[in-house]
Structure 1
């Protein structure tokens, strides 16, 4: 009898949860993020460990640049699914964006968790390219006293080169560009573009010509060639 009562109580809740999630999904795909967020948050009250709901809330709050809330959702996802590399990468990314909005003292307090999250993503997925890009940027932006280092950034650029030649050249070009070695950056971007010939490789080289080397003619020639 008790099992029967439980069944009558449990089934309607499951149906309500499923229909509520589907409602949130429709709003999400219609890019009505605020409305979708309300629905998913309500669903989370009843099912606080629902992976799909947490994922959607992480995506929505990231889209809305609510980095504090997004980091909470992704941190919980790392706890619920500790073998999922992307959750650690996204958690670290949210912390990084949050660090850009707070004062330097608070930002430095986030660095350790950021590094750990990106490194964990790589440990779980040795071929994780975005996590290596994130660490390169982190080591470039950090002051030396806080652990910033060109050699550490270059270490991950070399790892990228082994996994993806295009990413290897682009990341080394990024390092050169950061330290204003523009001629060397150009060589790396040119090699990357020759291999990749993508919108990303084009944009890196185009921006370098236009904004850093101040060579609009080269930029225009590159654009015409790429578009043709």
Structure 2
């Protein structure tokens, strides 16, 4: 039975890490390049400068939101919500601001637990629906609404039937997007083999958001195989992903996880080092996983330094952060 989780980030999809946000709706190529290359601080700084000169500017608001989501620091997320609300007040027709509000509220809901999620559910759904209504061809908007439907229970406005209807409604205008959306429904229903088949069949063309979603969703399936104690199948999927797009970090990181799980920590560390240099590495708990590998090798000094950096970054999964703190306490 599929479990309803508090609401997910664009996330598309619930991954072991946040899915990479992608800037299909950023119209400035320079800003898109900053996001694609994980230069989040530069993007945030430029967006804030634009907002000082042009309060409520939709594209600057979107760029700021993307940068903030990539770093996932709770205080910064909370402080950005009023700026996005100000964009909507000034430009109610700006689909990108409604979309970003849904994402930021989703992060707050995920962090706050079930009660917080239920209290924000209506606003999250309305934000994503408004984004789809105003920008129906932008895949980011549809994926946000899809994620809400898959994560939220029916009483909060979610449900798999609504998710399937959204995929069907996309078919005529955007068939490749629809194929990906159907795959996400299958993942939500734990029909992993069918989901993988659909995802590999998607032809994203020039749609960067669609391509990123397909990649991240396949990476999720690799993580699922690893969690299901199927390391050989996980390795095969991650290797295929690396061949399909060697510039992204998640599959290389996934290969490191496979090696760690199969008793080869030195090889795991080598893959983690490779992943650090690739796109999307900022959202991955590489420091935490590498620290565990060094502990297996008996190098407590390197493990301690990595765990301290991971905790100080303040953006890891709460379970991993808590484990890191406990390990640091034992290491002294």
Go from structure 1 to structure 2 and tell me whether the alpha carbon gap of 1:57 and 1:140 turns closer, same or farther (over 3 Å shift).
Answer: closer
Match in the other structure for 2:165: 155
Higher-helix-fraction structure:
1
For 1:118-137, what aligned pairs fall within 5 Å after superposition?
118-137=128-147
Cα distance change on mapping 1:196 and 1:30 into 2, 3 Å: closer
Higher Cα radius of gyration? 1
User: In the alignment, what sits opposite 1:10?
Assistant: none
- In the comparison of the two structures, how many residue pairs are matched? 192
Which residue number in structure 2 is paired with residue 208 of structure 1?
221
1:146 aligns with 2:156: yes
1:196 matched to which residue of 2? 204
What is the aligned partner in structure 2 of residue 73 from structure 1? 83
Structure 1 segment 1-228 matched on structure 2, within 5 A? 31=41, 36=45, 50-52=55-57, 55=61, 58=65, 61-64=68-71, 65=73, 66-192=76-202, 195-196=203-204, 201-205=214-218, 207-209=220-222, 211-212=224-225, 214=230, 215-216=233-234, 218-219=236-237, 222-223=240-241, 226=244
Contact 2:56 2:87 in 1 (8 A): yes
In structure 2, what is the Cα distance between the partners aligned to 1:221 and 1:96? 32
**Which sections of structure 2, spanning at least 5 residues, go unmatched?**
1-38, 206-210, 247-332
RMSD over aligned Cα atoms: 3.5
**Runs of 4 or more consecutive aligned structure 1 residues displaced over 6 Å after TM superposition:** none
Which has the higher relative contact order, 1 or 2, with Cα contacts under 8 A spaced 6 or more apart?
Answer: 2
Q: Deviations over 1:190-209 (max 9, x none)?
A: 321xx238565355335525
Q: Is the 8 A contact 2:222 2:237 kept in 1?
A: yes
Gap runs ≥5 in structure 1: 1-28
- TM-score w.r.t. the length of structure 1 is 0.68
Query: Post-superposition shift, 1:146?
Result: 2.6
Summarize deviations over 1:152-178 as a string: whole Å, max 9, x none. Answer: 011112233333332222221111112
